[in-house]
Amino acid sequence: MSRSGGAVEQQLLLLLLKEELSREERFEARSLVARFHLPDFLHLARHHFLVPWLCGRGDRFPELFDPAMREALEAIRRAEAPRALHWTDRLLDLLDRFERAGVRALPYKGPALGRLLYGSPADRPFGDLDILVTPRDLPAAERIARGAGFRRRWALTPRQERAFLRSSSHLELILPGEPPVPLDLHWSPLAEHFSVPFDTEGLLEHSGWMDLGGRRVRAFRREELFLLLSIHCVKHRFERLNWLKDLDRLLRLEGGLDGKGLLEPARRLRVERLLGVCLRVLARGLGTPLTPELERAAAARPAAGI
């Protein structure tokens, strides 16, 4: 009977998250491969959205990936890539529509994060599209999305609508089809009850640019992106390992991150201890290199309850 990912499979997956393995870690990984159950490992890899990453690990550590394991991973990757590319096309179409209407919009997570951190939207699986707009542009953005065929996931009465807009941070829409395309239309990175007062206007005003599918699209500054992803990771209690890998890859990008540009907004938003938790997990679990400034942040006392 399948265990849907036991201790052996989990330990192996954690080891393979690392960019490099020591001699002792390679020995441990070989021992785990000798005892693991391939279907359980594949289930775990898909759950954590790590199949494309593992395909690349097969080239880096060939002694850990026999032909059956390589072919199984590549088969999953080939099957999932067309959906990622189709969803990326839908995202770019929406961004074009927003631009023509004068609506500033910033795609994050999803295809944009895959392009930034792994080189291609298909190399980082994602479950929906995320676009950030200003609160005042939200009505226009929803109308444009509806014009592109998207619909709300559920209908709300006027009273429910008012309560929803006060308590949430995004609308959930979907483009019917096979497969359907889910869209989260954000007017804030976080709902108000998290008490992290992000300035959406400021985020969009000071955003940079990146290439996605041959198109120039808005992008968060690296430091802001790292902070947002860290908050998301802790909010969901490190539920998916690919989120940790995203943070690891972001810190390893050429040019790195500006420590001051990361820590100052973290203090202003009162999430510096939360940030320290993520940095500590990355350093201890994935061997992520930290600058002295970030090492000090990682050593700070963790927030209560984390």
pLDDT digits (tens, 9 = 90+) for 217-264: 999 999 999 999 999 898 888 999 999 999 999 999 998 899 999 999
Are 248 and 287 contained in the same domain? yes
Residue 306: both structure tokens together: 């984390």
**Domain ends where: 202, 220, 238?**
220
pLDDT given at position 1: 34
What pLDDT score does 207 carry? 94
Instruction: Tell me: do 107 and 213 sit in the same domain.
Output: yes
Task: Give phi and psi for 166, each to the nearest 5.
Answer: -75, -30
Pairwise CA distance, residues 50 & 42, whole Å: 9
Q: What's the pLDDT score for residue 69? A: 97
pLDDT at 234 (0 to 100): 86
Residue 50 maps to a domain:
no
pLDDT at 156: 79
Give the number of C-alpha atoms closer than 13 A to the C-alpha of residue 176, restricted to the C-beta side: 6
Global confidence as pTM: 0.91
Cα–Cα distance for residue pair 137/32, rounded to 1 Å: 52
- What is the residue range of 304's domain? 221-306
105 and 205 belong to one structural domain: yes
- The tokens for 154 are 């559920």
Q: What is the pLDDT of residue 288?
A: 96
CB 203 within 8 Å of CB 106:
yes
Which DSSP state fits 17? Answer: T
Choose the final residue of a domain: 220, 250, 268: 220
Q: Given this model, what pLDDT does residue 303 score?
A: 52
pLDDT for 301 equals: 64
Residue 194, pLDDT score = 59
Q: Which residues of the chain have pLDDT under 70?
A: 1-5, 190-195, 301-306
